[in-house]
Each structure stands twice: as structure tokens, then as C-alpha cells.
Amino acid sequence: KESPQLNAIAYSRFNTLVENPEISHYGIGTYNVGEEVLYPAGFTPQNYITNVQNTAPLHWQGLVNPMFSYYGYYIGSGPTVGIIGSCPTTEIPGPNINVTEFFQQQGCQTEMMTSTWLVIDMS
């Protein structure tokens, strides 16, 4: 069920995340919520669901976790780490990871870019 309080948290989280987009889930320790951060630009809603299921199974598991009954979300545009070309790694496996370093360790090239963020917080 959608929660106005979690929508407010997701909005606040978005503003915190874009302050330091190179660190996954930057600042999440302040909140006691589950969180998924996704980048849906270029997809229809149905195609994006399929994409998350196929390329980001950890994120999909978080979204369908029966432990969560409520959600809130915010969609905004902001800076993010983009991948140049292809990359064998398709998701960041947790919070507080330097995204640029993580992808470079996987042999991928990155650049800062502006993209659509979908922040979903759950409780």
C-alpha cells in the first residue's frame, strides 16, 4: 500500500542521493527502511519490470519481499554514474559502495551523466 510518509522519505532520499551519486544508497543509515534505487529512462513500464527481473535480481527480490507492506516513491532527474558501452555487471550489490570503483574493478568504463532516478522506500 502506498504511504504518504514513505513518499516523503523517498523524496528526501532522492535529494540526499544526488548529493553524492558515486556512493550507492548514500546516507541510507539515517532511515530504517528498505530501499531500491532504479534508473528507468528509455523503458516502458512493462519492459522495465522485465529488465529489472532479468538484470537486477537483487533489486527485484527487494521489491517483492513480503516483509514490506508499504511503499513510497519519488521520480526525479539527477546526476548518476553511467556505463560507457557494455558491462558484464548489471547491479550494485549493496549500500555504501563506490560505484565508479566497483564498475572499474569489473572492467567497465563509466562517466557522470544525468538520468531519471526512481527511488522506492519500503517498510
DSSP 38-64: E--TT--HHHHHHHHHHH-HHHHHHHT
Q: What share of the chain is helix, strand, coil (3-state, %, to 5)?
A: 35, 30, 35
pTM, to two decimals:
0.90
- Cα(120)–Cα(118) distance, integer angstroms: 6
**Hey, where are the domains in the chain?**
4-79+115-122
> Do the beta carbons of residue 68 and residue 123 sit within 8 Å?
yes
Task: Report pLDDT for 56.
Answer: 93
- Cα(93)–Cα(96) distance, integer angstroms: 10
pLDDT in 10s for each residue of the chain, 123 residues: 999 999 999 999 999 999 999 999 988 877 888 999 999 998 998 999 999 999 999 999 999 999 999 999 999 999 999 999 999 998 999 899 999 999 999 999 999 999 999 999 999
Task: Report pLDDT for 29.
Answer: 78
Q: Residues for the chain: how many in total?
A: 123
Task: Report pLDDT for 102.
Answer: 97
Rounded to the nearest 10°, the torsion over CA 17, 18, 20, 23 is 50
